[in-house]
Amino acid sequence: MTDLVTYELQESIATITMDDGKVNALSPQMFEELNTAFDQATTDQAVVVLTGRDGKFSAGFDLGVLSAGGPVASTLIRSGFELAERILSFPRPVVIACNGHAIAMGVFLLLSGDYRIGVDGPYKINANEVALGMTMPRTAIEICRQRLAPAHFNRAIVLAEAYSPADAVAAGFLDRVVQPSELQDAARKMAAQLAKLDMNAHAATKLRARDNALKAIRAGIESDFGSVNRTAAGAPGA
């Protein structure tokens, strides 16, 4: 079994990179390694840059695990949303460097970062559950509600509209778009800028500002697992 996540600490910045060699499907192993990486960032008191591989941030949950159904699928889904909640409440800034496609659970992780930088190109940012015949989980709706622009919320969630990186900025999926060759440098510069914040004030303000959203997300996690088969947030590889 190979590592799916790498962790690199430089000064006060931890870069966490997902790379499964394919579409960065979010599997049990991927979530285990991501949580271990965030544990290390907590120990290191580091600002985090979370990124993927060229052309792919993440295509969502591992469909092989979801298709099995039952407790394994339920645990996978819960793991994804618990990681999103963890990132939203992480005590240090989290910069997302979105390398390309972000689909389904990949979108929900994207929306959990404090500052999101994407790359220009023929990529899709898409919460596509409704297009695939899946009812959007309550938790996913609350993650999207706390970040998407009101004019785009229904389009993105109820109509499953796919956004280009450039259009994703106005919608609220991204804060900024750069050329692919500039992504990692831009993310690191933003992380270095955020590292100058007073971290106690940052953590307390983050929790205060997101209090209602975090309560709704935690309640959604507990409500969403009565039926797994048709509420799973997954997507085929883009």
Cα(140)–Cα(122) distance, integer angstroms: 25
Q: 5-14, 59-68, 113-122, 209-218 — which is least confidently predicted?
A: 59-68
- Structural domain includes residue 193: no
Over residues 174-210, the pLDDT tens digits come to 999 999 999 999 999 999 999 999 999 999 999 999 9
Decide: 125 and 168 in contact? Cβ < 8 Å.
yes
Instruction: Centre a 10 Å sphere on the Cβ of residue 193 and count the other Cβ atoms it contains.
Output: 13
Rounded to an integer, the average pLDDT of 7-33 is 97
Distances in whole angstroms, Cα of residue 226 to Cα of each of 63, 216, 223:
19, 17, 7
Going by pLDDT thresholds of 50, 70 and 90, the confidence category of residue 2 is low
Q: How confident is the model at residue 70 (pLDDT cuts 50, 70, 90)?
A: confident
Question: Is 70 exceeded by the pLDDT of residue 220?
Answer: yes
- Confidence at 67, pLDDT banded by 50, 70, 90: confident
- Taking 80 as the threshold, does the pLDDT of residue 234 lie above it? no
In a domain, 119, yes or no: yes
Domain presence at residue 98: yes
CB atoms within 10 A of CB 59: 28
Share the mean pLDDT of the chain: 93
Tell me how far apart the alpha carbons of residues 162 and 102 are, in angstroms, rounded to a whole number.
10
pTM above 0.95, yes or no: no
Whether residue 188 lies inside any domain: the answer is no
Tell me if 149 is assigned to some domain: yes
Tens digit of pLDDT for each residue in 100-153? Answer: 999 999 999 999 999 999 999 999 999 999 999 999 999 999 999 999 999 999
CATH of the domain at 137: 3.90.226.10
pLDDT 10s digits, 75-91: 999 999 999 999 999 99
Mean pLDDT, residues 31-53 taken together: 98
Decide if 155 is inside a domain.
Answer: yes
Number of domains in the chain: 1
Parent domain of 51? 5-180+212-223
Task: Confirm whether 166 is domain-assigned.
Answer: yes
